[in-house]
Structure 1
Amino acid sequence: MHIGIGLPNQVRNVTASIIPRWAARAEQAGFSTLATTGRYAYPGVNDTVTLAAAAGATTTIGLLSAVLLAPTWPAALLAKEIAGIDGVSGGRLTLGIGVGSREDEFTVPGHGLRGRGARLDSDLATYRDVWGGEPVGNGPNPAVPSGTRQVPMLFGGYSTPTLNRMVRWGEGYIGGSLPAAMTAAAFEAAKRAWRAAGRQGAPKLVALAYFALGDTETGQTNIRDFYRFAPEDIAANVVLCTTPKTIEQSITDYADLGVDEIIFVPATDDLDEVTRLADIVA
């Protein structure tokens, strides 16, 4: 199982200049992937800005949005942003998509919370058209350079429409930051949906878990703050690893489920957390 690390873009009041340094150190430490956490109505750094900074600071490590709230964006604009980041990175980006559930995240007129699922279904086709070089804006020009690839997509969420999007448009599924015993059913549902749709092989499965190995008290405070308005069954069960033993147990638990990759998401923006985690999982 591959082991990736999150970027601290949604730590409250993150020091933004840490992000490219964090990315470079994570690549040097040998992590498989750098991942972002997506929110708008929170004092952090946006997914696309963070991923672009990470792309410029690294050369080989994978990049993943885990997950970006795609229906909060106009589709053609997001498609161009994602294509640009992927191009800058040399084709290392995977777009992880969620639909979102908080009204305050939906700030663009005409892109509100209501109807977000149906809007996303239409948006996914727009992404493919934009990346394929189709003209945009009723004019003759495409939005992206020739040679732009179809960026691979993963989907996160617990609904049947999420799984339908995954098997139609995606390469796999991202589970929530919950104990393996709680996410096992979602991973199994993703595999069943994949087989039922006649897709070849198996979906890529990615798990998420938070960690705070230095200042664990601040890490716990930050996680409580980030999930303050989340449903109680999620907020009360978010995984936060604070010791080598809990890191190792999370790896074992998800490996037993057949997960392909686990991303450890930082609960603080202490740059030394990259080294602390690497020392455990190396």
Structure 2
Amino acid sequence: MKIGIGIPNQIRNVNAVVVPEWARRAEEAGFSSLGSVGRVAYPGVMDTVALAAAAGATKRIGLISNVLLGPVWPALLLAKEIQSIDAVSGGRLTLGLGLGGRSDDFVVEGLGARGTGKRLDRDIETYKSVWRGETPVGCDNPLVPEGSREVPVLFGGMVQATYDRVARSGRGYIGASLPVGMVAGAFDGVRAAWKEAGRQGAPYLVAIAYYAIADAEGGRANVHDYYSSAGTDVAGLITSTVSGGADAVKATVEGFKAIGADELILNPTNDDLDEIQRVAEIVL
């Protein structure tokens, strides 16, 4: 199982200047990927900006959005944005997509929080058309340079429609920041849908887990704050999964390895650059 690390782009009032240095140190430490957290209505750094900054600061490490809220974006705009980041990185980006569950993230007029599943399915076809170099209706030119690649796509979500979407249109799946047992059920659902669809090989399965080494309570408070708009129960559940300290992080790694995750992204709970080396010494 590969071990990646998150970018602290959605810590409340994050010191945004740390993002490029965070990316550089993560690559130097030997993590497999850098992951971003996606949300609009929160005082952090937009995930596309964080990924672009990380792309410019690194040369080898993978980049993954876990997860970007696809339906909050106009499809053509997002398709170009993603291809641009992928191109700047030299083809290191994986696009992790989710529907979004908080209505305040839908700030673009005409793109509301209803019908997001059907909209995302249509948008995926638009993304792929753009990446193939096709000229959209109403445009005089393709939106991306000739020879652009189709960016691999993963999907997040805990319902059958998501598992089917993975099997139909994706390279794999990203589990939510939930206890291992809950993510195991989702992994099984994805595997079953993949097999039912007749796909060859296996879906790429990514897990996410929050960690805090130096300040576990502060880290938990930050996670609770981020998820508070989803309700007390949800915020409490996700906060309870934060791995505080070396032993807890090791147990989390073993738990996700046991359920067959291909990659685990350890998400930071603060923007302290020293947390990169602290967790690297535990898991790498």
Please give the range of the TM-score, normalised by the shorter of the 2 chains.
over 0.9
SS of residue matched to 1:181: helix
SS of residue matched to 2:237: coil
What's the offset of the Cα at 1:273?
0.4
Does the aligned pair in 2 maintain the 1:21–1:57 contact within 8 Å?
A: yes
Q: Which residue of 1 aligns with 2:48?
A: 48
Q: Which residue of 2 aligns with 1:9?
A: 9
What's the offset of the Cα at 1:87?
0.1
CA deviations over 1:107-149 (Å, ceiling 9, x no partner): 0011000111111111000000000001124233100001110
Q: Structure 2 counterpart of 1:253, which letter? A: G
Distance 1:203 1:143 in 2: 29
| Equivalent in 275, 278, 281 of residue 276 of structure 1 | 278
Q: Which residue of 2 aligns with 1:124?
A: 124
How do residues 185-264 of structure 1 correspond to structure 2 at under 5 angstroms? 185-238=185-238, 239-264=241-266
Q: Which residue of 2 aligns with 1:83?
A: 83
**Does residue 207 of structure 2 align to residue 177 of structure 1?**
no
Does the aligned pair in 1 maintain the 2:6–2:36 contact within 8 Å?
A: yes
Q: Which residue of 2 aligns with 1:100?
A: 100
SS of residue matched to 2:206: strand
- Which segment is superposed worse, 229-238 or 210-219? 229-238
Distance 1:233 1:182 in 2: 15
CA deviations over 1:35-59 (Å, ceiling 9, x no partner): 0000000000001000000000000
Does the aligned pair in 1 maintain the 2:7–2:268 contact within 8 Å?
A: yes
Q: Structure 2 counterpart of 1:269, which letter? A: D
SS of residue matched to 1:228: helix
CA deviations over 1:155-178 (Å, ceiling 9, x no partner): 000122211211111111111111
SS of residue matched to 2:208: strand
Distance 2:234 2:4 in 1: 22
Distance 1:137 1:61 in 2: 36
TM-score under structure 1 normalisation? 0.98
Distance 1:232 1:187 in 2: 26
Distance 1:115 1:178 in 2: 25
Does the aligned pair in 1 maintain the 2:164–2:190 contact within 8 Å?
A: no
Does the aligned pair in 1 maintain the 2:34–2:64 contact within 8 Å?
A: yes
- Which segment is superposed worse, 21-30 or 240-249? 240-249
SS of residue matched to 1:147: coil
SS of residue matched to 1:173: strand
SS of residue matched to 1:209: strand
Percent identity for Structure 1 against Structure 2:
55
What's the offset of the Cα at 1:102?
0.8
Q: Which residue of 1 aligns with 2:168?
A: 168
SS of residue matched to 2:144: coil
SS of residue matched to 1:265: strand
Q: Structure 2 counterpart of 1:109, which letter? A: E
Distance 1:158 1:231, change over 3 A: farther
Q: Structure 2 counterpart of 1:16, which letter? A: A
Does the aligned pair in 2 maintain the 1:34–1:62 contact within 8 Å?
A: yes
SS of residue matched to 2:228: coil
User: How many positions carry a matched residue from both structures?
Assistant: 282
Distance 1:185 1:21, change over 3 A: same
Distance 1:45 1:233 in 2: 26
SS of residue matched to 2:164: helix
Distance 2:48 2:10 in 1: 12
Distance 1:148 1:268 in 2: 35
What's the offset of the Cα at 1:232?
4.7
Cα RMSD after superposing both structures: 1.0
Distance 2:45 2:177 in 1: 20
Does the aligned pair in 2 maintain the 1:37–1:47 contact within 8 Å?
A: yes
SS of residue matched to 2:229: coil
- Which segment is superposed worse, 255-264 or 230-239? 230-239
Distance 1:189 1:217 in 2: 34
Structure 1: gaps (5+ residues): none
